[in-house]
Chain A
Amino acid sequence: MIRLEQITKRYGDTLAVDQLSLEINEGEVCVLIGPSGCGKTTTLRMINRLIEPTAGQIFINGQDTSRIKVEKLRLSMGYAIQSVGLFPHMTVGENISVVPHLLHWEKDRIAARVIELLKLVGLKAEEYTGKYPGQLSGGEAQRIGVARALAVDPPILLMDEPFGAVDPLTRQRLQSQLVRIQQEIKKTIIMVTHDLDEAIRMADRIAIMESGRLVQYDTPEAILSAPINRFVRNFIGADRALKRISRISIQKYIRPAEFININTSPNQVMAEAKKYRWLWVIDDNRQLIGWVDRDSLPGAASIEEVMNREEAGEISLMDNATLRDALSQMLGLGFKYIPVIDDANQIIGELALEDIEEAMAGEEG
């Protein structure tokens, strides 16, 4: 656990950080966010003492960091920054093994660790180990930066806008990758960003800062549903309802769907499925293959004849989607209901627009 107690940093007459107290639980992702100059980066850099606080103390597992030798303190934390900071004169392998070298690991152990880390960030070891940073794309370089920060498996990871320098698409991919890695490695991560979507996607807790002060520190859900003051409300924006449902999985809202086998006779369908006008059509493997309008069934010889065939992926949601994905898909298709499928394209239920509306209304109150 990391505890910041009444941390103040003063540069001449300006207060960069003003009596900030913060507790970060073990294994949690804490995102520091706020407008430029709010002191978020200064706060981060005080944790590994790249900046020494003017006043206040920082404790890691109860130990005062100012009493730990500074190199030892930093070696116990991973560090990744916006400009990636890969050393251009070292290969990818050498970059990743900087900290293991500093800790005098054995050669074989370092080599094995490099391979392991490259695999973790999704890069082929044999292809990348010998490359120089100049030969990497921005996204690859960022991933190497993260791998280097994780090299000696430190319990704490400090990241200063780790995905700041890549295009939005790559950034999103890297974010979800880090979320996935985090589920595996369970580090205490403190991350600075100015991108609210990134914070919402990654954070267990968000610390919103304004001119050196901590304004609100809570889970993304809580901050989005109950911003503490006008500053936070403005900061998170008018679309906070949408942002909030991007944190909510559809799992809880999946309801049983009505679907029919393509080989059923239209008459039987007319008799049995009376509730809805539109019905999902599946094949013998329970795979979603399209939908049918109930009104078109009378007089049809088979379902096949009147159904609309669709690619399963285009008219449905995967079961790991969020409510925001669901809403956007429904608006795009013009559907009020949307089927939910699993990895094998088998239908497991459906989602209704009214449930999403309810979820959004619920958090507004």
Chain B
Amino acid sequence: MFGRQMIRWIILLAATGIFLAVIANPVWWETAMRFFFPEETIVIHPRASLLVLVGEHIQLVAISSGITIIVGIPLGIWVTRPSGQDFLPIVTDITSFGQTFPPVAVLALAVPALGFGLVPTVVALFLYGLLPVVRNTIAGLRAVPESLLDIAYGLGMSRWQTLFRVELPLSVQVILAGVRISVIINIGTAMIGSVIGAGGLGSPIIAGMALTNTALIMEGAIPAAVLAILTDQFLSNIESSFTYTPGKV
């Protein structure tokens, strides 16, 4: 078990290293693009280097997902406690609504209030990514068998002790799966940030679409896809490090 886990981390580390090397060397990228798209005169986004674009993108995702996690998990915990139970339907409704509401529409509504740039984008991404985190937190906590809660309280654990020693350890995998889905969605959705000047990998795509330049679109799309895959692997590695020998309860 330990060996397999280690191998997965090593592969991920190697892949990340290659990815960083490629985006840090604009010459390599440019050469490759010129080979695939010989007819284009511009193959690299002129505003910023690929490294900067990826950095901006990661920053957008990190901030918005960070807030999503910080808000989403406690929210999910709260509505499964006796004190917050009454709010469970409202919270699930609102978070579902947040996801059905298109992020572009959120942007359109947020710009008048918050202006251009990072802040409205983060708000849109936060709302959009909240549902998977909240939903999985609720689902994970609810899946903890009643008998285990009974025995936890019966042995003398307080509500907090039961939450941290029994409920969260048993639902951590489900919660992390929700976080992973949310972050991956955010990596894709963060593209729209560049519409209102938040930068990121959306910038070359928008420029590419304006100029009908496939090379520029690729400059946004490929790194974003690789970023999503690497992040997914990273988070699922963390997730599986929480497995215990499964069995009957």
In contact, B154 and A48 (Cβ under 8 angstroms):
yes
Closest to A101 in B: B165
- One of A80-88, A106-114, A274-282, A350-358 at the interface: A80-88
In contact, A88 and B156 (Cβ under 8 angstroms):
no
Q: A85-B147, A88-B170, A89-B170 are in contact. Are A102 and B156 (CB under 8 A)?
A: yes
| B169-199 at interface with A (beta carbon < 8 Å) | 169-170
Given the complex, which residues of B lie within 8 Å of A81, measured CB to CB? 147, 150-151, 154
Given the complex, which residues of A lie within 8 Å of B247, measured CB to CB? 88, 132-135
Interface string of B98-128 (1 = CB under 8 A from A): 0000000000000000000000000000000
Given the complex, which residues of A lie within 8 Å of B36, measured CB to CB? none
A98 at the interface (CB under 8 A from B): yes
Q: A89-B244, A134-B248 are in contact. Are A99 and B156 (CB under 8 A)?
A: yes
In contact, B153 and A50 (Cβ under 8 angstroms):
yes
Q: Give the CA-CA distance A89 to B170 in the complex, in Å.
A: 7
Q: Give the CA-CA distance A148 to B128 in the complex, in Å.
A: 45
Q: Give the CA-CA distance A99 to B249 in the complex, in Å.
A: 19
In contact, A135 and B147 (Cβ under 8 angstroms):
no
Partner among B155, B158, B249 whose Cβ is within 8 Å of the Cβ of A88: B249
B246 at the interface (CB under 8 A from A): yes
B212 at the interface (CB under 8 A from A): no
In contact, A74 and B156 (Cβ under 8 angstroms):
yes
In contact, A88 and B246 (Cβ under 8 angstroms):
yes
Given the complex, which residues of B lie within 8 Å of A134, measured CB to CB? 244-248
B161 at the interface (CB under 8 A from A): yes
B228 at the interface (CB under 8 A from A): no
Given the complex, which residues of B lie within 8 Å of A89, measured CB to CB? 169-170, 244
In contact, A133 and B248 (Cβ under 8 angstroms):
yes
Q: Give the CA-CA distance A27 to B157 in the complex, in Å.
A: 26
- The distance from the CB of B47 to the nearest CB of chain A, in whole angstroms, is 50
A311 at the interface (CB under 8 A from B): no
B139 at the interface (CB under 8 A from A): no
Given the complex, which residues of B lie within 8 Å of A72, measured CB to CB? 156
Given the complex, which residues of A lie within 8 Å of B157, measured CB to CB? 71, 98, 102
Partner among A83, A84, A99, A133 whose Cβ is within 8 Å of the Cβ of B155: A99
Q: Give the CA-CA distance A161 to B215 in the complex, in Å.
A: 70
Closest to B157 in A: A102
A75 at the interface (CB under 8 A from B): yes
Interface string of B205-249 (1 = CB under 8 A from A): 000000000000000000000000000000000000000111111
Given the complex, which residues of B lie within 8 Å of A83, measured CB to CB? 145, 147, 249
Closest to A102 in B: B156
A291 at the interface (CB under 8 A from B): no
| B125-165 at interface with A (beta carbon < 8 Å) | 145, 147-148, 150-158, 161, 165
Q: Give the CA-CA distance A152 to B211 in the complex, in Å.
A: 75
Q: A133-B248, A135-B245 are in contact. Are A85 and B158 (CB under 8 A)?
A: no
A259 at the interface (CB under 8 A from B): no
Given the complex, which residues of A lie within 8 Å of B165, measured CB to CB? 98
Given the complex, which residues of B lie within 8 Å of A86, measured CB to CB? 249
Closest to B148 in A: A85
- The distance from the CB of A143 to the nearest CB of chain B, in whole angstroms, is 15
Given the complex, which residues of A lie within 8 Å of B154, measured CB to CB? 48, 50, 74, 79, 81, 158
Closest to A83 in B: B147
- The distance from the CB of B175 to the nearest CB of chain A, in whole angstroms, is 14
| A149-165 at interface with B (beta carbon < 8 Å) | 149, 158
Q: Give the CA-CA distance A82 to B169 in the complex, in Å.
A: 23
Partner among A85, A141, A148, A149 whose Cβ is within 8 Å of the Cβ of B150: A85
Interface string of A118-142 (1 = CB under 8 A from B): 0000000000000011110000010
Q: A71-B156, A88-B246 are in contact. Are A102 and B161 (CB under 8 A)?
A: yes
Q: A50-B154, A73-B156, A102-B155 are in contact. List 4 more A-B contacts (CB 8 A).
A: A50-B150, A98-B157, A102-B161, A134-B248
A-B contact pairs, 15 of them (CB 8 A): A74-B156, A81-B147, A81-B151, A83-B249, A85-B249, A86-B249, A87-B170, A89-B169, A98-B165, A102-B155, A134-B244, A134-B246, A134-B247, A134-B248, A135-B245
Listed in ascending order, the chain A residues whose CB lies under 8 Å from chain B are: 48, 50, 71-75, 79, 81-90, 98-99, 102, 132-135, 141, 148-149, 158
